[in-house]
Structure 1
Amino acid sequence: MPEIHATAVVPGRTPEELWAVVKDSPAFAPRAPHVIGVRVLDSGNRESRSTEWTVLLNGSEVTWVQNESTRPGLRLCFEQTAGDLERLAGEWSVVENSAGAQVGLSVSFELGIDGLAPLLNPIWAQSLQAHAEALLRVVSTTGLPANGSDQT
């Protein structure tokens, strides 16, 4: 299964400040030009929720529903439960860095088109890499959530 990884160092920010932003994807993600929307479907409890993402990837609108759960060590894991891809899973992480904080996003995926996987996987990996890097840029430049909608 193809995987992508992206990280960004954010000087002058604490891990806790970035963590508050990462957990509030409905607020920050639509600021990325390719994200059409993120909607909370089920808030579950303070450690998990279900969200629906709609993004433009490879010139096509792609939608999926994912379960998100917080884990120890400022980690937010997610896994697709429904959507246009066969499988999508990943993890956000925030750690302390000598300059401030570092945020990371890892994503693994399967398209569900086995015969064309050798041709399509590199194209989709490149598109998901660009998706991850765009989200990291937004997280790096976003202030703290003002409405308290983050999950802890």
Structure 2
Amino acid sequence: MPEIRAETLVGGMTPETVWPLVKDSAGIASPAAHVVSVRALSEQDRTFRLNEWKVLLNGSEVTWTQREAAGPGLRLRFEQTTGDLERLSGEWAVSAAHDGTLVRLTLAYELGVDGLAPLLEPIWTQSFQAHADALTRAVSARAAEHRATEKNPT
């Protein structure tokens, strides 16, 4: 199963301040142009929820529902429960870094087309890498907005 990694450093903010931004799937997705929508389906409590994602990858709309579970620590694990892919899982991790907070997104996927996987996986891996990079950039952008709001409250 191919694995994708993306990370960003959010300067000047603690992990505890960045964590709520990471947990806000819809907020992260909104600045990412390739994300069509993220819709909350249910939330059991503050540690478990279901979200439906619609994303443009390789020129096609790909849809999946993922179960998200927070913890232990500042980690948000997710796993596809239904959708267009055979499998999709991953984790957001937030940790202290030298000048702020490191936000890391790791995801793994399986297309479910065994005979064509060697041909398709490089293309899909590139698309999922772009997806992960865009989401980590979105966290950084949301953090910058958050800092600006704290400095200049209206």
Name the TM tier (shorter chain): over 0.9
Q: Which structure 2 segments of 5+ residues have no match?
A: 147-154
1:110-146 deviation per Cα after TM superposition (whole angstroms, max 9, x unaligned):
00000000011111111000000000001011045xx
Q: Where does 1:75-114 land on structure 2 (aligned, <5 Å)?
A: 75-114=75-114
Equivalent residue, structure 2, for 1:148? none
Judge conservation of contact 1:18–1:140 (CA < 8 Å) in 2. Answer: no
Equivalent residue, structure 1, for 2:121? 121
**Equivalent residue of 1:112, what SS?**
coil
Task: Give, in whole Å, the separation in 2 of the partners of 1:114 and 1:82.
Answer: 19
Task: Give, in whole Å, the separation in 2 of the partners of 1:97 and 1:77.
Answer: 21
The structure with the larger Rg is: 2
What TM-score results when the alignment is normalised by the length of structure 2? 0.91
Equivalent residue, structure 2, for 1:6? 6
**Equivalent residue of 2:40, what SS?**
strand
% identical aligned pairs:
58
1:58-109 deviation per Cα after TM superposition (whole angstroms, max 9, x unaligned):
1110000000000122000000000000000000000000010000000000
Equivalent residue, structure 1, for 2:31? 31
After TM superposition, give the deviation of residue 18 of structure 1 in Å: 1.4
What TM-score results when the alignment is normalised by the length of structure 1? 0.92
After TM superposition, give the deviation of residue 28 of structure 1 in Å: 2.3
For CA contacts below 8 A with separation 6 or more, give which structure has more relative contact order.
1
Judge conservation of contact 1:4–1:129 (CA < 8 Å) in 2. Answer: yes
**Equivalent residue of 1:136, what SS?**
helix
What RMSD over aligned residues (CA atoms) do the two structures have, in Å? 0.9
Aligned length: 144
Task: Give, in whole Å, the separation in 2 of the partners of 1:37 and 1:71.
Answer: 25
**Bigger share in helix:** 2
Task: Give, in whole Å, the separation in 1 of the partners of 2:135 and 2:46.
Answer: 23
